[in-house]
Amino acid sequence: MSDSPSISAEERKRILRERRAAKMAKGNATSRLNTILTQGNSVKDVSSVKSVLDQEPTGATATTTGNHDLDPDHHDIEGFINTPGINASNDSVALSNSEDIDEMFKKIFGGQVPGNGTDGAGSEDPLAQMMKMFSQPGAGTGTNTPFSEDPFSAQPEEFKYQQQLVQYNTYRHQVWKFRFLAVRYFALLANFIYHFYIIGDSISFASSSHQFIRELIPVEPARSFFTLFSTIEVVIIASYYFLGTKEGFFSTATSNNFVVKLLDMGSMVLPQLQQFKTIAVRLLGYYELLAVLLGDLSLVVVLFGLHSVLGN
């Protein structure tokens, strides 16, 4: 045992470091752990452990050591510490991590998607839609990740589906609108015809442009008509609102509205506009209900007009 006087302290430290690394390489780290276990553990048939230094590299970083001299005392030892067992363990961890990053992103962004895109207002949240778009896995090979060059080209089927979904919702909206229109007109006409025939005389259930005639008319028949009219309107509008919210066709209709589109465009420049979008969507929904009421009132006006013209 002798120190070589010609070696500097720095050189000595470096050689010692390399010697320590060499003793951990090529599966020796695991064998050291197992030696300690074998000699000291009270449970002899303990299953063998594996060192963190001997974890299998998962990617292409695993390089062969070639014909490097593995003698720890040899000065030409630099190549040795590049073996997968020592420094590459870090790289392999990093590499596997990098491979997992896409998976991680998918998990992160996938967690942000609130629903299936058809749940009314939730499907209108642009961030949710964006997150959903990001979370779509690459088509086919899986190499086309959500963060690859063109994320929008990742899933044409998905976009086609979304397009069809919007069309379907619009169609359903129209169907329901027509059904309600039929019910409304039927109820209104029934209400009108009922009062027209029950009351019988031509003065009690008629409109007039002369105030003295209007004052002659008993109030009760008209009040009965309008009570029934209001009840029918309340029931119809409430049902329409309930169905519209439940089935989600309100949101489809409002998203196509030019006010909402204008707000969307405006918020690209002025992000604060985004907060008004929710209010606009809600107001547009109420506007649709108001339109129902106004439409029915118009019909009543027309019916009374016809009655007053034809009745005279």
Partner 1 sequence: MDFELEPTLESIVQQDTLKWIFVGGKGGVGKTTTSSSIAVQLALNHPNDQFLLISTDPAHNLSDAFCQKFGKDARKVDGLSNLSCMEIDPEAAMSDLQQQAQQYNNDPNDPLKSMMNDMTGSIPGIDEALSFMEVLKHIKSQKVDENDDKDKISYRTIIFDTAPTGHTLRFLQLPSTLQKLLSKFQALSGKFGPMMSMLGGGNQQEMFDKLNEVQKNVTEVNEQFTNPDLTTFVCVCISEFLSLYETERMIQELMSYNMDVNSIVVNQLLFADDDEKPCKRCVSRWKMQKKYLDQMAELYEDYHLVKMPLLGTEIRGVENLKKFSKFLLTPYDPKVNGDLVTSLEEK
Q: Binding residues for partner 1, how many (CB under 8 A)? A: 54
The residue to which tokens 């086609």 are assigned: 160
88 vs 292 by CB, closer to partner 1 = 88
Q: Which stretch binds partner 1 (CB under 8 A): 10-18, 179-187, 197-205, 285-293?
A: 10-18
Question: Does the CA dihedral 76-78-81-84 come out positive or negative?
Answer: negative
Q: Is 280 in the site for partner 1 (CB under 8 A)?
A: no
Min dist. Cβ of residue 104 to partner 1 (A): 5
Q: Does residue 180 belong to the site contacting partner 1 (CB under 8 A)? A: no
What x/- string results for residues 43 through 72 when contact with partner 1 is judged by CB under 8 A?
--------xxx-------------------
For 237, other C-beta atoms within 10 Å of its C-beta total 18
Shortest distance, position 222 Cβ to partner 1, whole Å: 52
Assigned token pair, 70 = 């593995």
3 is a contact residue toward partner 1 (CB under 8 A): yes
The answer to the question of residue 163 lying near partner 1 (CB under 8 A) is no
Judged by beta carbon, residue 127 or residue 294, the one nearer partner 1 is 127
Minimal CA–CA distance to 255: which of 162, 138, 178, 180? 162
Q: Specify the residue, 99 or 220, whose C-beta has the smaller distance to partner 1.
A: 99
Please name the amino acid found at residue 206: A
| Residues 87-126: x where in contact with partner 1 by CB under 8 A, - otherwise, as a string | x-xxx-xx--xx--x--xx-xxx-xx-------------x
Q: Are 225 and 192 in contact (CB under 8 A)?
A: yes
CA dist 157 and 165 (Å) reads 12
Q: Which is nearer to partner 1, 257 or 267 (CB)?
A: 267
**For the window 232-271, what string marks contact with partner 1 as x by the rule CB under 8 A?**
-----------------------------------xx--x
Please, which residue, 104 or 182, has the CB nearer to partner 1? 104
Rounded least distance, CB 158 to partner 1, Å:
18
Determine the Cα–Cα distance for residues 46 and 289; give it in Å rounded to an integer. Answer: 75
Instruction: For Cα atoms 128, 129, 132, give the angle at the middle one, nearest 5 degrees.
Output: 85
| Of the residues 5, 8, 39, 309, which one makes contact with partner 1 according to CB under 8 A | 39
* Residue number with CB closer to partner 1 (114 or 120): 114
- Does the footprint of partner 1 cover residue 190 (CB under 8 A)? no
Closer residue to partner 1 in complex, CB, 151/285? 151
Q: Which residues bind partner 1 (CB under 8 A)?
A: 1-4, 12-13, 15-17, 19-21, 23-24, 29, 32-33, 35-37, 39-41, 51-53, 73, 86-87, 89-91, 93-94, 97-98, 101, 104-105, 107-109, 111-112, 126-127, 130-131, 147, 151, 267-268, 271, 274
